[in-house]
């Protein structure tokens, strides 16, 4: 059984350390439990990150808190004015096939489809994907270009935090002790918006991203080009990032292949990747340029069809 946090154990039969399973009756109870646990309690949704990290000895929570039954946690709601509301415990397959996601937020559906395998997505959630705060989280770029807010519950009740302020570093979020994620709120997508998520992995299915690029483009008379683009990247910085430098280039002058090339170059320059088991930093940078150029071009072609 793993004894030291942060060390990987390769046992012939991997085992989970023992823990208590707790199912509180209200968000207030969850907050109380988290507050008095001194870091020893942890929430889980699908458990596809939590249990793997426990098995490998990276984390050793004494208590796992199940909140999936609490009101709204497993629900998806949509309204043309309020947008999309995704309970933190909604599994990825249900979310990806939800009619509102398919019709109004296809870039999110596309990102969800790139996560691991169908089997894993029956358990894994977007809530867990964001709270896990991996730089490679596939739903993060989509959440960034869709300008999602995360609704947290803490000692003073509920409050929203914009996705741009949520990620603080690898595995670190703005969630404070005693707080947890209730739901993700995504505003209505801009009129006429077209999106694309391109992911490069070591294989076509079931691997974490070497690079992930989400692009959302839409008509906007106030932009000199007549269009605005939002661009977000995964797996090329300590946290998933928006790329305002590239977005500004696409707003500033009529879109041509040269302008797209310049925006893709700006995205590459904004990326601050590391070398790791999946890729070198140099290759990641080159692929940011490549994928950004492809994604923007595809979005642009659809916008002017
Ligand atoms: C084989 C395999 C392949 C994978 N492939 C991919 C991939 O392609 N792309 C990708 O992005 N990820 C991938 N992952 C990682 C993982 O599956 C995803 O991050 C998944 O979305 C996690 O969701 P979950 O519901 O299982 O989270 P959990 O494991 O339940 O939780 C993840 C983290 O978030 C915290 N947490 C969960 N819910 C809350 C909450 N409501 N409030 C506060 N904190 C919370 C937990 O304490 C934990 O730290 C893979 C994992 C495996 C095992």
Calpha distance 283→27 (Å, rounded): 44
Question: What is the distance between the terminal CA atoms of the chain, rounded to a whole angstrom?
Answer: 59
203-216, pLDDT tens digit by residue? 877 789 999 999 99
Span 13-20, mean pLDDT?
86
Nearest CA to ligand 1 atom 17: 48
Span 13-36, mean pLDDT?
93
Residue 4 predicted with pLDDT over 70:
no
Nearest CA to ligand 1 atom 41: 181
pLDDT confidence of residue 204: 73
Position in ligand 1 atom list of the atom nearest CA 127 = 38
124 alpha carbon – ligand 1 mean position (Å): 6
Distances (CA, A) of 262 to 133, 219, 257: 30, 20, 9
Position in ligand 1 atom list of the atom nearest CA 61 = 47
124, 170, 205, 234, best to mutate for ligand 1 pocket (most atoms within 8 Å of CB):
124
Token couple for 47: 């458990």
Q: Is 47 in the pocket of ligand 1 (CB under 6 A)?
A: yes
41-44 own/partner pairs: CB under 8 Å, 24+ apart: 41/65, 43/67, 43/131, 43/180, 43/181, 44/128
pLDDT confidence of residue 3: 44
73-120, pLDDT tens digit by residue? 999 999 999 999 999 999 999 999 999 999 999 999 999 999 999 999
Parallel/antiparallel/unpaired status of strands 180-186 and 194-200: unpaired
Residue 166 predicted with pLDDT over 50:
yes
Span 251-267, mean pLDDT?
98
pLDDT confidence of residue 1: 42
21 alpha carbon – ligand 1 mean position (Å): 18
pLDDT category at 11 given cuts 50, 70, 90 is: low
Calpha distance 122→45 (Å, rounded): 11
Q: What is the percentage of the chain residues whose pLDDT exceeds 70?
A: 96
131 alpha carbon – ligand 1 mean position (Å): 7
Q: Is 213 in the pocket of ligand 1 (CB under 6 A)?
A: no
Span 243-268, mean pLDDT?
98
pLDDT confidence of residue 159: 98
Q: Whole-model pTM?
A: 0.95
Mean pLDDT across the chain = 95
Span 220-247, mean pLDDT?
98
């Amino acid at each position: 059984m793993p004894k030291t946090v942060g060390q990987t154990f390769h046992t012939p039969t991997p085992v989970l350390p023992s823990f208590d399973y707790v199912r509180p009756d209200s968000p207030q109870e969850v907050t109380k439990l988290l507050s008095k646990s001194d870091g020893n309690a942890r929430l889980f949704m699908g458990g596809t990150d939590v249990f793997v990290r426990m098995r490998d000895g990276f984390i050793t929570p004494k208590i796992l808190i199940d909140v999936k039954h609490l009101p709204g946690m497993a629900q998806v709601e949509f309204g043309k004015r309020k947008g999309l509301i995704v309970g933190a415990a909604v599994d990825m397959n249900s979310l990806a096939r939800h009619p509102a996601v398919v019709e109004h937020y296809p870039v999110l559906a596309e990102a969800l489809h790139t996560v691991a395998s169908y089997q894993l997505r029956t358990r894994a959630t977007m809530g867990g994907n964001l709270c896990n705060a991996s730089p490679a989280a596939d739903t993060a770029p989509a959440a960034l270009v869709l300008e999602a807010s995360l609704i947290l519950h803490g000692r003073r009740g509920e409050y929203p935090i914009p996705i741009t302020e949520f990620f603080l570093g690898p595995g670190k979020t703005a969630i404070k002790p005693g707080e947890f994620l209730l739901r993700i709120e995504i505003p209505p997508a801009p009129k006429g918006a077209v999106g694309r998520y391109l992911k490069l992995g070591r294989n076509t299915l079931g691997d974490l991203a070497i690079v992930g690029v989400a692009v959302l483009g839409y008509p906007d008379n106030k932009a000199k080009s007549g269009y605005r683009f939002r661009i977000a990247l995964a797996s090329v910085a300590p946290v998933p990032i928006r790329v305002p430098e590239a977005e500004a280039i696409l707003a500033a002058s009529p879109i041509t292949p040269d302008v797209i090339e310049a925006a893709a170059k700006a995205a590459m320059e904004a990326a601050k990747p590391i070398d790791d088991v999946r890729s070198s930093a140099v290759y990641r940078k080159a692929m940011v340029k490549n994928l950004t150029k492809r994604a923007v071009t595809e979005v642009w072609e659809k916008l002017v069809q």
